[in-house]
Chain A
Amino acid sequence: MSAEADPTQRVAIGISFGNSYSSIAFTSAEGKAEVIANEDGDRQIPSILSYVGGEELHAGQAKGQLVRNTKNTVAYFRDFLGQDFKSIDPTPCHQSAHPIQHESTIGFKIQDSAEETENTVTVSEITTRHLKRLRISASDYLGKNVNAAVITVPTNFADAQKDALNKAAKEAGLEVLQFISEPVAAVLAYDARPEAKLADKVVVVADLGGIRSDIAVIASRGGIYTVLATHHDYEVSGSVLDQALMDHFAKEFIKKHKSAGDPRENDRSLAKLKLECEAVKKALSIGTSANFSVESLANGVDFQATINRSRYEILASKNFAAFARLVTHAVEKANLDPLDVSEIILGGGNSHTPKVASAVRNLFPESTIVLAPSTSSTAINPSELSVRGAAIQASLIQEFELEDIEQSTHPAVTVTPHTAKAVGILLISGDEGTAVFHTIVDAETPLPVRRTAIIATPREGGNVLLKLAEGLRHIKITKPEPRVREPSSDDEDDESEEEEEEVREKTWKVDAVLSEAALKGVKKGAKIEVQINIGHDLTVNAIFREVGGKGGVRGILQGPKVTQNGSA
């Protein structure tokens, strides 16, 4: 057993490894995740390497090289790892070293040594070098040799990509304890906060990153997470937001300095424009206006300008709307309604932008909580969600043998039957038509499960009926009464002419009755406790009893008949 593989010798951190930025975090002795700044003081560490005269520059310093040393600067490489050349999109690398086919993998032709010769460095090697720098930053900060990590990856990261990342990390001196998916890490980051309450809910994680958008719809059931649907988009991203600003400032520049030309048509000018526009975009997340200032933007002409936030919001409005549409599209893919969504966690650096949050906010009902800096004072920094989740997971498993972790994450453990429909109880009336159905065990709950409900009784107590059923969620739509226009107020209140929206409500319908039970002679004002246990074979074990009373009723329901040849 090598020293790294010995759990007692492990120093594990969480790493989020993004196409644009990476982050590192560790969990303190108090169980709090802390994001580590690198030696430049950055917590959002650009995933960029650059080589100048044999010297390796990393992160922020490498990013600065995009202007003068484009060809020897490698950026946006995460998604290339473990892929073949045919299946990658080289577009994000237009303004840095271009990816090339190298044997069965992908490489970059760069001068990475003091010699004048170009070497082909594989994306695996680049990743190793990047992770090594992250490892060193973390080790320096912690004063300990970091040798293990939980790394976050997108939900659609294929096994081949994970394998490649695993190898690259190993080369960098990091044992990957586990890959966890970015949106799940984000949910964990929120759930690990001390004030968090365990609840059954549907959470959507919407990540607006640098070169892609990723949405995941997650059922959170008693702290266990199931991804119900995902959606990935490569057209809506931070780079198109940057582009909106680039086009704006380029046009402004041309208006003012006609003879200097279009800064978008010269590689170096374009690189400067892009860097500054990203900075302006970030500034507009906090301030209501921002300065643009580039020395020698094109043909030696300096350019300074200001922009206010609302102008930016108009320039990029199409993209904000498109991002919000992706979120609703993912909810549709999960066969859910916006009313089913309890929380939306906005992640990715661009979720700092207030308009991103408000565009999403507008497509969801009041009951949906939108967690972003501009909509919630307690929101976690959207750039740090993944890494925090990774650090928490690292602390949970760092004492386990690798083999143990592997066995625990094996599909034999993770593949779990989930309830198809909500199981609940009939209130007020025992008649399916008039009763109010109340969920006790939600749909998409992994089995086995136990849930308890405490229910009020009729005013006089007495004998009560406990009728369990499966329920189906139904969206009740109430169209507004067509408003009668008052002829007198024709001209004045144009604003009140806005079309009144239909009212959508979430209701339940009884789908199938499961069982009936009776509790007799219940005391006036008593409460009834109903406990439902559902086994992985769909056997229901129900216990009904008066809170504080003696005895109770117990019932067992067999699971449905097994139709396939297998056993239940």
Chain B
Amino acid sequence: MAAVQISLPLPVLPEGWSGEKDFKPIGHLSHATDRNIEPVGPHFLAHARRKRHKRTFSEDDRIQAQANVKKVEDDDSDDISEPEDPVLLQREAKDWKAQDHYAVLGITRYRYRATEDQIKRAHRKKVLKHHPDKKAAAGGTEDDQFFKCIQKATEVLLDPVKRRQYDSVDEAAEVEPPSKKATQKGNFYKLWGKVFEAEGRFSKNTPVPKLGNEKSTKQDVEHFYNFWYTFDSWRTFEYLDEDVPDDNENRDQKRHVERKNANARRKKKTEDTARLRKLVDDALALDERIKLFRQQENAQKNKRKNEKEAELKRAAEEAAKAKEDEAKLKAEQEAAEKAQKADSKKAKEAAKNAAKKNKRVVRAAVKDANYFHGAGDASAAEIDSSLNDVDLIITKIDNEELAALTAKLNGKKDGAAIKQVFQEEAARLVGEGKLKAGETKSLG
């Protein structure tokens, strides 16, 4: 053998790769299959030479060598043998239309599911048994009626068009919908599943979705019913046609039959569509999953509704509370303001009273200081002048200054000290520009 030439490059060795003597065994080959090689050709001869080494093999070697060898020829499989019904064997070939073609070939367990290969093998099996030559050999009559039935069955079943026509009306493949009662015993999926599987044979579209079971998802169930409500069926009813007369003499009759057949086919097709529709309706009505999904949906809806209501309530409550809080705050503020107002009035009054009192003290101090006259009785003019001056000072100072002045004068009985206080006050006021210098003559 020439070497395999490979133009794609080998990978670069990864950094840090290591192996003993640069080789690392990792796995091992899968188990081999024993097969027969063909003892043919020059290369086999070389193989045989190597393998024999002039040895001689025995019958035992043969048996042992072949023990596990993989078979390539099909065995005569038994998947297509069914006991033959004696009544069936009596059939007349001319009644072929009414025969159960699958029963004739012994493949009733497959019916529309039978593969081309199965039909062919079944046919061969029947031919080997029922060929008229065999009957003659067995001393029977040369009755070839059943053989002809076999040929007819095979002709129909191996022709895709004819087979569909037959499968369309193969009553034995039909599965009647179960009664309501039967499905209530928890057999809904099993019983209806079979019905839909059988109906699915007419589908132009594949794959046909399965009914499923209680665990199926909502999506699958919806897909299932959508599929069946829009079912595209190849079912036809030609097979039930009345025979059209073959002779040309009777053209009118021929046309009449043809028209009749066409109408009958159409009617049957319409009926079949309605039948299927009702069948799907019935299944849907009984399907617990639909109810369950509806309940779930309602529950979901209710939940959502309740949630919404609760939310609304909560919001309303929140709003009310906010309003309340606001009102309260406002009231508090108002109260506080009021209180403050009341306080300031009192203070003013108090200040007024204090000022009055202080003025009295101040005036009294003037008297105590003998009107700044020193010893001896002061003249009326001197008294007037001093009182005027002090009043002038009082008019020039605010309540606080008055209080401070009062405090300074408080307890002072000495006329000179008192006079000094007044003099200082007058000087302060002159300093602030509130009095003119010398304006208080009595204070000198």
Question: Which A residues contact B (CB, under 8 angstroms)?
Answer: 85-91, 93, 98-101, 155-156, 178, 180-181, 184-185, 188, 191-192, 197-200, 218, 222-231, 233-235, 318, 322, 325, 329, 389, 392-393, 396-397, 407-421, 423, 425-430, 435-436, 438-440, 444, 446-447, 450-459, 462-467, 470, 512-520, 528-529, 534, 538, 540, 553-560, 563
Interchain nearest-CB distance for B233 vs A (Å): 23
In the complex, B148 has a CB within 8 A of chain A: no
> A283–B165 Cα gap in the complex (Å)?
37
Q: Which residues of B contact A538 (CB under 8 A)?
A: 28-29, 31-32
Q: Which residues of A contact B25 (CB under 8 A)?
A: 514-515, 555-558
Task: Tally the A-B contacts, defined by beta carbons under 8 Å.
Answer: 304
For B31, give the chain A residue with the smallest CB separation: A560
A-B contact pairs, 22 of them (CB 8 A): A100-B137, A329-B117, A408-B45, A408-B49, A409-B48, A415-B65, A420-B31, A435-B11, A454-B3, A454-B4, A454-B5, A462-B12, A464-B11, A464-B12, A465-B11, A465-B12, A512-B27, A516-B24, A538-B28, A538-B31, A538-B32, A555-B24
In the complex, B41 has a CB within 8 A of chain A: yes
The winner among B21, B36, B129 for most chain A CB atoms within 10 A is B36
Q: Which residues of B contact A444 (CB under 8 A)?
A: 33, 35
In the complex, B37 has a CB within 8 A of chain A: yes
In the complex, B346 has a CB within 8 A of chain A: no
Q: Which residues of A contact B159 (CB under 8 A)?
A: 318
> A447–B21 Cα gap in the complex (Å)?
27
> A534–B28 Cα gap in the complex (Å)?
11
Known contacts A329-B117, A389-B40; 9 additional CB pairs below 8 A are: A181-B38, A412-B65, A414-B65, A415-B66, A451-B3, A462-B13, A516-B24, A518-B19, A554-B23
In the complex, B134 has a CB within 8 A of chain A: yes
Q: Which residues of B contact A458 (CB under 8 A)?
A: 9-12
Q: Which residues of A contact B64 (CB under 8 A)?
A: 412
A155 pairs with B72, CB closer than 8 A: yes
> A514–B17 Cα gap in the complex (Å)?
16
In the complex, B131 has a CB within 8 A of chain A: yes
Question: Which B residues contact A (CB, under 8 angstroms)?
Answer: 1-14, 17, 19, 21-45, 47-49, 51-52, 55-57, 61-62, 64-66, 69, 72-74, 116-117, 120, 123-124, 127-129, 131, 133-134, 137, 154, 158-159
> A148–B413 Cα gap in the complex (Å)?
173
> A512–B26 Cα gap in the complex (Å)?
9
Instruction: Contacts A87-B128, A407-B57, A457-B9 given; indicate if A516 touches B19 (C-beta within 8 A).
Output: yes
> A421–B64 Cα gap in the complex (Å)?
25
For A514, give the chain B residue with the smallest CB separation: B27
Q: Which residues of B contact A559 (CB under 8 A)?
A: 28-29
A-B pairs with lowest CB-CB distance, top 4: A223-B43, A417-B32, A555-B23, A463-B13
B40's contact among A185, A515, A516, A528, by CB below 8 Å, is which?
Answer: A185
Instruction: Contacts A227-B36, A516-B26, A560-B31 given; indicate if A453 touches B127 (C-beta within 8 A).
Output: no
A235 pairs with B36, CB closer than 8 A: no
B40 pairs with A188, CB closer than 8 A: yes
B35 pairs with A418, CB closer than 8 A: yes
A427 pairs with B35, CB closer than 8 A: no
B61 pairs with A410, CB closer than 8 A: yes
Interchain nearest-CB distance for A272 vs B (Å): 23
Interchain nearest-CB distance for A189 vs B (Å): 10
A540 pairs with B65, CB closer than 8 A: no
For B158, give the chain A residue with the smallest CB separation: A235
For A234, give the chain B residue with the smallest CB separation: B124
A427 pairs with B10, CB closer than 8 A: yes
Instruction: Contacts A89-B124, A413-B39, A427-B11 given; indicate if A515 touches B29 (C-beta within 8 A).
Output: no
Instruction: Contacts A224-B44, A557-B29 given; indicate if A465 touches B8 (C-beta within 8 A).
Output: no
For B32, give the chain A residue with the smallest CB separation: A417
Instruction: Contacts A223-B43, A428-B8 given; indicate if A514 touches B62 (C-beta within 8 A).
Output: no
B41 pairs with A225, CB closer than 8 A: yes
B11 pairs with A228, CB closer than 8 A: no
> A490–B235 Cα gap in the complex (Å)?
32
For A531, give the chain B residue with the smallest CB separation: B3
Interchain nearest-CB distance for A196 vs B (Å): 11
> A518–B20 Cα gap in the complex (Å)?
10
A228 pairs with B72, CB closer than 8 A: yes
- Which secondary structure characterizes the binding site on chain B? mixed
> A197–B30 Cα gap in the complex (Å)?
29
B23 pairs with A534, CB closer than 8 A: no
Instruction: Contacts A410-B57, A411-B65 given; indicate if A427 touches B6 (C-beta within 8 A).
Output: yes
Q: Which residues of B contact A184 (CB under 8 A)?
A: 38, 40
Interchain nearest-CB distance for B109 vs A (Å): 21
Instruction: Contacts A225-B40, A414-B37, A427-B8 given; indicate if A156 touches B73 (C-beta within 8 A).
Output: yes
> A231–B127 Cα gap in the complex (Å)?
19
> A354–B3 Cα gap in the complex (Å)?
37
B62 pairs with A223, CB closer than 8 A: no
B40 pairs with A529, CB closer than 8 A: no
Q: Which residues of B contact A329 (CB under 8 A)?
A: 117
The winner among B25, B39, B123, B124 for most chain A CB atoms within 10 A is B39
> A233–B129 Cα gap in the complex (Å)?
18
The winner among A230, A413, A423 for most chain B CB atoms within 10 A is A413
> A454–B6 Cα gap in the complex (Å)?
6
> A98–B36 Cα gap in the complex (Å)?
37
Q: Which residues of B contact A457 (CB under 8 A)?
A: 9-10
Interchain nearest-CB distance for B61 vs A (Å): 4
B133's contact among A100, A185, A397, A520, by CB below 8 Å, is which?
Answer: A100
Q: Which residues of A contact B65 (CB under 8 A)?
A: 410-412, 414-415
> A557–B26 Cα gap in the complex (Å)?
8
A515 pairs with B41, CB closer than 8 A: no
Q: Which residues of B contact A555 (CB under 8 A)?
A: 23-25
Q: Which residues of A contact B66 (CB under 8 A)?
A: 411, 415
Q: Which residues of B contact A438 (CB under 8 A)?
A: 4, 6, 8
B56 pairs with A407, CB closer than 8 A: yes
> A64–B45 Cα gap in the complex (Å)?
43
Q: Which residues of B contact A199 (CB under 8 A)?
A: 1
Interchain nearest-CB distance for B34 vs A (Å): 6
B4 pairs with A453, CB closer than 8 A: yes
A412's contact among B35, B49, B62, by CB below 8 Å, is which?
Answer: B62
A222 pairs with B10, CB closer than 8 A: no
> A326–B429 Cα gap in the complex (Å)?
134
> A293–B278 Cα gap in the complex (Å)?
61
Instruction: Contacts A396-B45, A413-B51, A415-B65 given; indicate if A98 touches B38 (C-beta within 8 A).
Output: no
For B23, give the chain A residue with the smallest CB separation: A555
> A223–B42 Cα gap in the complex (Å)?
8
For A536, give the chain B residue with the smallest CB separation: B32
A417 pairs with B30, CB closer than 8 A: no
Q: Which residues of A contact B57 (CB under 8 A)?
A: 407, 410-413
> A310–B296 Cα gap in the complex (Å)?
64
> A450–B27 Cα gap in the complex (Å)?
19
For A178, give the chain B residue with the smallest CB separation: B39
A560 pairs with B29, CB closer than 8 A: yes
> A425–B11 Cα gap in the complex (Å)?
10
Q: Which residues of A contact B26 (CB under 8 A)?
A: 513-516
A420 pairs with B30, CB closer than 8 A: yes
> A241–B123 Cα gap in the complex (Å)?
19
> A455–B49 Cα gap in the complex (Å)?
33
Q: Which residues of B contact A86 (CB under 8 A)?
A: 128-129, 134
The winner among B32, B44, B129 for most chain A CB atoms within 10 A is B32
Q: Which residues of A contact B11 (CB under 8 A)?
A: 426-430, 435, 458, 464-465, 467
> A428–B5 Cα gap in the complex (Å)?
15
B35 pairs with A226, CB closer than 8 A: yes
A428 pairs with B9, CB closer than 8 A: yes
B8 pairs with A456, CB closer than 8 A: yes
The winner among B41, B55, B74 for most chain A CB atoms within 10 A is B41
